[in-house]
């Protein structure tokens, strides 16, 4: 494949180059994967109003997310094991995002550590936090994010327990991969990936290994993470984390208007309408269906962002039209990363930006501030709004 024109091209290439367990970790959902697929299909079902004879000079997709200037209303979502899609994956994605002018969000469960990413970037990035039972570790993790000059903390609320992800279970997902015969055969067919991994020392969870007493290999790490995700997480913990952090706080995993109001009451700066990419509660409504109701509930008082199913700039524009002040791409950038490393992430951002700019123009708009629900065909919007 010589010409990459859309995110699907990157997905196809990534599937050929990334070992199966890591490719399917990115490209799968929980249970029947109905919510995972609905995130995409519900966005595709929304139709746009084409307008003509409008002066389209001077277009701009620039805006702000939580007070930070961005080249377009898109951030790179926090995704675990990005460094297993491609060697040093989080570093490469952070550099691509920095050059493009969009936020990069580092996951707690990243392969490259907070310090690794900070050492290879010039501008502040965002850090995503999972709440563990070990509160001393969480305090240290927040302090490390502060020391790295992270400019926002993204607190994930929908992973108190882990959804049943059938493909991960069947593949025996681990980082680094267990050297079973099936895994060795599969990795041998991905020599580019193997060469990259051979050249980097970063093959385990960099934010955890070496930072928690007694955690120095994959065996103990797997046991620790299974025990550490905290099912007791509640709104009091959110208040505690906000006070400890002291900076911009974004709450990820909001699907319900009542929870959005509680997030507002907690003092968060923004919420992300998210079903964890369809990887937690299968059968939950798609993010784009949930978005309008949450915007109506709290959107006049705090920023509402969205992730889930964003595969194009058209998807970004549809979310903005329904009130989102920002969107996040997870799989879209992972496909680029697995396909071509840093260059692939840059290409994914270029594709989405170009599609956003062109679609905004076809809808007769030159600035994102002009984009609202009026750019959507009334019938398709009514269907989404009713579900929201």
Strand residue runs (E) in the chain:
63-65, 68-70, 74-76, 105-106, 126-129, 152-156, 248-254, 270-273, 303-307, 326-329
Contacts (Cβ under 8 Å, ≥6 apart) of 188:
194
Nearest to 340 by CA among 89, 122, 94: 89
Answer positive or negative: Cα dihedral of 95, 97, 99, 101.
Answer: negative
Tell which phi-psi region holds residue 44, choosing left (phi > 0), alpha (psi between -120 and 50) or beta: alpha
Report residue 187 as tokens. Answer: 């990795």
Site of tokens 């995704």: 79
- Contacts (Cβ under 8 Å, ≥6 apart) of 15: 23, 27
Residue of 166, 211, 276, 353 marked catalytic: 276
The single-letter DSSP state of residue 86 is S
Structure tokens at 219: 């065996």
What is the rounded CA–CA span in Å between residue 272 and residue 305?
Answer: 4
Q: How far apart are CA 206 and CA 202, in angstroms?
A: 7
Please state, as a whole number, how many other Cβ atoms lie within 10 Å of the Cβ of residue 112: 26
| Spacing of C-alpha 224 from chain mean position | 24
Known catalytic residue at 353:
no
- Is the separation of the CB atoms in 326 and 352 below 8 Å? no
Closest CA to 362 of 310, 318, 330: 318
Distance CA 271, CA 258 (A): 12
Q: Assign 89 to helix, strand or coil.
A: helix
Q: Is 329 helix (H, G, I), strand (E, B) or coil?
A: strand
Cβ 168 vs Cβ 28: under 8 Å:
yes
SS3 351: helix
Q: Which positions are catalytic? A: 276
């Amino acid at each position: 494949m010589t010409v990459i024109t859309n995110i699907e091209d990157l997905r196809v290439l990534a599937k050929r180059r990334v070992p199966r367990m890591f490719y399917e970790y990115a490209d799968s959902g929980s249970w029947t994967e109905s919510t995972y697929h609905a995130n995409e299909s519900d966005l595709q079902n929304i139709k746009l109003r084409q307008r003509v004879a409008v002066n389209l000079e001077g277009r701009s997709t620039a805006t702000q997310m939580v007070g930070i200037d961005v080249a377009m209303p898109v951030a790179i979502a926090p995704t675990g094991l990005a460094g297993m899609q491609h060697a040093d994956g989080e570093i490469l994605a952070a550099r691509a995002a920095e050059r493009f002018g969009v936020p990069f969000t580092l996951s707690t469960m990243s392969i490259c550590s907070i310090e690794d990413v900070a050492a290879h970037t010039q501008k502040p990035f965002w850090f995503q936090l999972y709440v563990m039972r070990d509160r001393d570790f969480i305090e240290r993790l927040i302090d490390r994010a502060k020391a790295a000059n992270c400019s926002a903390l993204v607190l994930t609320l929908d992973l108190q327990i882990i959804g049943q992800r059938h493909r991960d279970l069947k593949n025996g997902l681990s980082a680094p991969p267990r050297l079973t015969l099936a895994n060795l055969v599969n990795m041998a067919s991905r020599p580019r990936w193997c060469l990259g991994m051979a050249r980097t020392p970063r093959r385990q969870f960099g934010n955890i290994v070496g930072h928690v007493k007694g955690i120095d290999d994959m065996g103990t790490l797997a046991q620790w993470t299974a025990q550490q995700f905290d099912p007791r997480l509640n709104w009091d913990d959110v208040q505690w984390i906000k006070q400890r952090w002291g900076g911009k706080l974004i709450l990820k995993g909001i699907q319900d208007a009542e929870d959005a109001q509680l997030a507002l009451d907690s003092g968060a700066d923004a919420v992300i309408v998210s079903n964890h990419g369809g990887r937690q509660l299968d059968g939950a409504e798609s993010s784009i269906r949930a978005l309008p109701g949450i915007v109506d509930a709290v959107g006049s008082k705090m920023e509402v962002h969205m992730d889930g199913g964003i595969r194009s700039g058209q998807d970004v524009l549809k979310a903005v039209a329904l009130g989102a002040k920002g969107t996040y791409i997870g799989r879209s950038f992972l496909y680029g990363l697995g396909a071509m490393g840093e260059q692939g992430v840059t290409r994914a951002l270029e594709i989405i930006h170009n599609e956003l700019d062109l679609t905004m123009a076809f809808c007769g708009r030159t600035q994102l501030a002009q984009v609202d629900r009026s750019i959507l065909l009334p019938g398709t919007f009514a269907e989404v709004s009713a579900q929201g």
